[in-house]
């Protein structure tokens, strides 16, 4: 007996037809009959018999077909496990992410990936989430790390989202325990139009439109301007974990959290290296959930 003969018998047993088994296995009908004949010769038992225009398995054939399913299942499972191990020893995973997650969650995850799977090559690129999703769809990366606000439109079909954490927005000022309403007349530091949207929305909920005097996506510059008394800003928690100017204060803005996801594309399963990094990212993010940057207050 060999595995090819057993696969033929198992396919014939499921379909009850040499013709259908041949289609599934991409064999000719004579080839299927030849394999059945070789299997009967090897076992010394009659395994099939004709029944009208089709065939049926004999009791001996049914017994062997049942065992064939078990054997094939175990061999296929072993093949998948072996491929996964090979992939984890010599795989590659490419990640597109935005600045604050690349400087906080990702380094710890990268270190854990390297320690557990030293053969996996990790490539990182710093891009805005919109560009990250575009790269993911085009096949240039395997994972896109993105953030979404409550009013963000759903991603297109084909994207699969793994929630990592919620990242609340913080009011950044020189005085502790400040509220948005306290700065309706202050100068504000805002990022690009896409990045400042959450800040503008939070201020509008508080009853005013912020006067944006300085425009920069540089989180160090934004905090430096606040520390110098030039205005106030609103930054997410991950930005404060990435860099914290000692002389500023951070107050969480209620209801402002953005959700951060690791996104993959296409039908599962993901390649072994991609799955390994996803699991590690989830674990690292879970440990960091709820972490409030130093000197931050909640309101």
61-82 pLDDT, tens digit per residue, is: 999 999 998 898 888 777 766 7
What is the domain class of 169-252 according to CATH? alpha beta
**Same fold across 91-167+258-298 and 169-252:** yes
Quick one: tokens of 249?
Answer: 């204060």
Tokens 């065992």 -> residue:
67
User: What pLDDT sits at residue 287?
Assistant: 84
Alpha helices in 52-153 (DSSP H): 59-90, 99-102, 105-116, 129-138
pTM assigned to the model: 0.69
Quick one: tokens of 20?
Answer: 């259908």
pLDDT digits (tens, 9 = 90+) for 19-37: 899 988 888 889 999 999 9
Quick one: tokens of 183?
Answer: 């700065």
pLDDT digits (tens, 9 = 90+) for 254-274: 988 899 999 999 888 888 899
Please, how many CA atoms are within 13 Å of residue 262, restricted to the half-sphere of its CB?
A: 26
Question: What is the CATH code for 91-167+258-298?
Answer: 3.40.190.10
In 118-248, the DSSP E strands lie at 121-126, 143-148, 159-167, 169-173, 187-190, 211-215, 232-236
Stretch 174-185: mean pLDDT? 94
- Cβ atoms 48, 36 nearer than 8 A: yes
Quick one: tokens of 18?
Answer: 């040499």
Domain over 3-88 is classified CATH 1.10.10.10: yes
- Cβ atoms 40, 22 nearer than 8 A: no
- Cβ atoms 233, 225 nearer than 8 A: yes
- Whether the per-residue pLDDT at 293 is higher than 90: the answer is no
Domain residue ranges in the chain: 3-88, 91-167+258-298, 169-252
User: What pLDDT sits at residue 54?
Assistant: 75
- Whether the per-residue pLDDT at 291 is higher than 70: the answer is no
**3-state DSSP assignment of residue 101:** helix
Could you tell me the pLDDT band of residue 298, with boundaries at 50, 70 and 90?
A: very low
Give the Cα separation of 177 and 183 in Å (integer). Answer: 12
Of 3-7, 45-49, 53-57, 150-154, the least confident:
150-154
Stretch 38-47: mean pLDDT? 93
Give the Cα separation of 230 and 75 in Å (integer). Answer: 68
Backbone angles phi, psi at 212, to 5 degrees: -85, 110
- Cβ atoms 118, 165 nearer than 8 A: no
């Amino acid at each position: 007996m060999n595995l090819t003969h057993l696969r033929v018998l198992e396919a014939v047993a499921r379909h009850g037809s040499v013709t259908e088994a041949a289609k599934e296995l991409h064999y000719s009908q004579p080839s299927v009959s030849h394999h059945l004949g070789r299997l009967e010769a090897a076992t010394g038992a009659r395994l099939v018999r004709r029944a009208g225009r089709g065939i049926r398995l004999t009791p001996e054939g049914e017994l062997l077909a049942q065992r064939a399913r078990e054997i094939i299942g175990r061999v296929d499972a072993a093949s998948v496990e072996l491929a996964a191990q090979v992939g984890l020893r010599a795989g590659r995973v490419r990640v597109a992410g935005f600045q604050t997650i690349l400087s906080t969650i990702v380094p710890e995850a990268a270190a854990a990936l390297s320690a557990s799977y030293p053969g996996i090559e990790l490539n990182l690129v710093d891009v805005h989430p919109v560009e990250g999703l575009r790269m993911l769809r085009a096949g240039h990366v395997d994972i896109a790390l993105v953030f979404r606000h409550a009013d963000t439109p759903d991603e297109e079909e084909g994207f699969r989202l793994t929630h990592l954490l919620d990242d609340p927005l913080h009011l950044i000022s020189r005085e502790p325990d400040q509220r948005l309403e306290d700065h309706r007349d202050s100068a504000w530091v805002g990022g690009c139009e896409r990045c400042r949207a959450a800040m503008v929305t939070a201020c509008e909920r508080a009853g005013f439109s912020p006067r944006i005097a300085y425009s920069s996506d540089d989180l160090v510059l934004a905090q430096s301007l606040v520390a110098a008394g030039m205005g106030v800003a609103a930054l997410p928690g991950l930005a404060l974990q990435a860099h914290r100017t000692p002389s500023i204060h951070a107050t969480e803005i209620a209801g402002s959290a953005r959700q951060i996801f690791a996104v993959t594309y296409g039908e599962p399963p993901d390649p072994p290296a991609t799955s390994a990094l996803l699991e590690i990212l989830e674990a690292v993010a879970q440990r960091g959930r709820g972490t409030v940057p130093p000197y931050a207050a909640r309101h």
